[in-house]
Amino acid sequence: MSLEKTISWDLDLIKRYDLSGPRYTSYPTAIQFDASLSEEQLVLNGQTTTDKTAPLSLYVHIPFCAHVCYFCACNKVISRNRKKAQPYLDTLYKEIEQAAKWYSDGRIVNQLHWGGGTPTFISDEQMTELMNKLKQEFNLLDDDSGDYSIEIDPREASLETMRTLRKAGFNRISLGVQDVNPQVQKAVNRIQPTEQTEAVLNAARELGFKSINMDLIYGLPHQTFESFNATLDTVIDMSPDRLSVFNYAHMPDRFRSQKHINEADLPSPEIKLAILESTINKLLAAGYVYIGMDHFAKPDDELALAQESGHLHRNFQGYTTHSDCDLVAMGVSAISQIGNVYYQNEHDINAYSEAVETRASAIRRGVQLSTDDLIRRAVITQLICHFELDPKPIEELFSIEFKEYFSDEQAELQHFSNDGLIEFDEQKIVVTAAGRLLIRRICMAFDRYIPKQQPTQGFSRII
């Protein structure tokens, strides 16, 4: 079934169901993480519930940025002093050594991602040193067959840097673009000429990077329906393999840098909806597949192929093809998933550094998944990755009868069905064309931790 034919826009449904809710990069979500659980409890549970024969995914957080982008909600440290990076890296190496002792076991690293912040804030020599440290402690692939990616700010990536990254083993990049309109860029303090972005993209292609993602944001100050369509035209011409188009959530009380954005300059909710509808239609017309939520990919991209074959997965990096990997995350605020455990490092860089220096790790809080959590996670993962739910594998894996186990949810599912968000098809639950845009709300029906009928604090709005 072609995805281009299965997405529809029902403004009434969107307005009725557009609450705040999780993005379900995990279940339970980070709000359920408990600081009272000890590091020893979390690590031991992770070690005893993981499959030590399965491959690993590694994440490294580099928090530094030379300039503040006013829209940003990432955990970052703004500094033009590049010398700040080395003490952080020295501390990070100690955490890498500890994590390898806990989890490496010779397991192949199929996926690697560096995020931030701006990972390319550190020098080419430091990037090489960090990658060598990871290769020393973990079993990284050396034949370019892994999925090794890095987030790049085109303003911070010279041709020599791109060569360094490729030589180090990276084969995928994600470029922060957000918007190409100069007025919008000025309003969010991110001046980035299109020529700068194109130079990095062209260098990546010439150097043999296998996949290029671009990040865009709609809802920024001074954006209009026409201006964002022009941005999309420019980006489509550059033909990235994947696109992430995020909704800007204006929460200046939570993110200090957003106080620099004049709320009066933001597009209205009606214009934002029009921009989103146009974005989806334009990208589908350009040949991209709607993977889900904010993500699009070319039909021959691994994400699109994984969704088609039923092997798409979701974790803290978003959609991924590596459902069999535990995620070992290192660096300030990084979140790991090991076996039946999630845990997060200290969020403050000083607390992180002190913790690693004194005990070789910086675990702050986490959650140990119950059997109920595992069942609900399996349901939510199926829905958010594949827009359908086949209860049979879940029934067999957990020895439950689906309708009986989820008897309390049946009334809400029927309500979704009456509103045309889902259909019951030969024992399966199938998300309809209208329901795809509201998949987060459908998943919320199976989330036992949050209320369903009013906006939920701590989460962005669904649309």
pLDDT for 458: 61
Express each pLDDT in 382-439 by its tens digit: 999 999 999 999 999 999 999 999 999 999 999 999 999 999 877 899 999 889 989 9
Q: Report how far apart, in Å, the C-alpha atoms of 259 and of each of 187, 190, 224 are.
A: 12, 15, 21
pLDDT for 6: 57
Is residue 5 very low, low, confident or very high in pLDDT (cuts 50, 70, 90)? Answer: very low
pLDDT for 107: 97
Least confident of 7-21, 100-114, 320-334, 344-358: 7-21
In this prediction the pTM is 0.93
Query: For the range 296-302, what are the long-range contacts, defined as Cβ-Cβ under 8 Å and sequence gap of 24 or more?
Result: 296/242, 296/243, 296/244, 296/245, 297/241, 297/242, 297/243, 298/241, 298/242, 301/211, 301/241, 301/242, 302/147, 302/211
Express each pLDDT in 245-295 by its tens digit: 999 989 899 899 999 999 999 999 899 989 999 999 999 999 999 998 889
Express each pLDDT in 316-355 by its tens digit: 778 888 877 999 999 999 999 999 999 999 999 999 999 9
Average pLDDT estimate for 126-134: 98
- Per this entry, what is the length of the chain? 463
The answer to whether residue 91 scores a pLDDT higher than 50 is yes
The answer to whether residue 455 scores a pLDDT higher than 50 is no
Tokens matching residue 373: 């959590």
d(C-alpha 446, C-alpha 137), whole Å: 39
Tokens matching residue 185: 């860029």
Express each pLDDT in 135-145 by its tens digit: 999 999 999 99
